[in-house]
Amino acid sequence: MSNIKLYTAKLSPPGRAVELTANLLDIPLDIVPIDLLAGDHRKDEFLKLNPQHTIPVIDDGGVIIRDSHAIIIYLAQKYGKRQALYPDDPITRAKINAALHLDSGVLFSRLRFYFEPILYGGSSEVPQHKIEYMKKGYELLDGALTDDYIVGNEMTLADISCIATVDTMDVFFPMDRSKYPKLVAWMERMSRMPDYDRLNREGSLEFAEICESLRLSNAAKAII
Ligand SMILES: N[C@@H](CCC(=O)N[C@@H](CS)C(=O)NCC(=O)O)C(=O)O
């Protein structure tokens, strides 16, 4: 059987959540790099896989799944050797699903509202209200952390999804460490995952660097 193909970019937080999950579950992936800045995601070939033109997307022997949250649930349910990542119990699952929606609908959305105009719209603005709105995400997650992990004392898909976004946000706009001790301790715990730097941190750093250099070059173009 051939490996699952993952269409992704190292820069993409949702893409990194999929890579972290597959790594934990020992699922080999064939990475198909998608260069967002070159517009690979708007080409016909990719649009056939995902008309919403977002990465990540997987192709598992012809089964196409898009959206990182759907993908990591699929991987855990279909191939999960580690039951604890998405336990088969409706209450725990509901709590994990709630955190996946928090990531998708709040944390990552607020991050993308900041970077998309820079990446795709030629903007050089650093709108303070968007930054404040994004930082409010730290508060929301910190408030939800009552145990070692987002849902109880074992790592679940909720943690993997949120850490890919929160680590990126923290590189873009570092959080006030004294304000969010629970969040800082959770990030430290998550950073002990196998291959964390390679699969998550490096992408966060690279993304922030590229975004800032594009912002500056957009600003220079605006002056000319
Ligand atoms: N909810 C989606 C969000 C995916 C997403 O927005 N990915 C970004 C890259 S980080 C993307 O592909 N953007 C290109 C576009 O929206 O055209 C997921 O979790 O997979």
- Is 70 exceeded by the pLDDT of residue 192? yes
pLDDT (tens digit, 9 = 90+) per residue, 69-126?
Answer: 999 999 999 998 778 999 999 999 999 999 999 999 999 999 999 999 999 999 999 8
- pLDDT more than 90, % of the chain: 95
Q: Is 68 in the pocket of ligand 1 (CB under 6 A)?
A: yes
Query: Residue 190 and residue 138: Cα distance in Å, rounded?
Result: 16
pLDDT (tens digit, 9 = 90+) per residue, 52-64?
Answer: 999 999 999 999 9
Instruction: Return the bridge partners of 30, or none.
Output: 5
Report yes or no: 156 and 103 within 8 Å, Cβ to Cβ: no
Q: What's this model's pTM, rounded to 2 decimal places?
A: 0.97
Q: How far is the CA of 208 from the centre of ligand 1 (A)?
A: 16
Q: Is 16 in the pocket of ligand 1 (CB under 6 A)?
A: no
Q: Is 135 in the pocket of ligand 1 (CB under 6 A)?
A: no
pLDDT (tens digit, 9 = 90+) per residue, 79-89?
Answer: 987 789 999 99
Question: Residues with Cβ < 8 Å from 152, sequence gap 6 or more?
Answer: 92
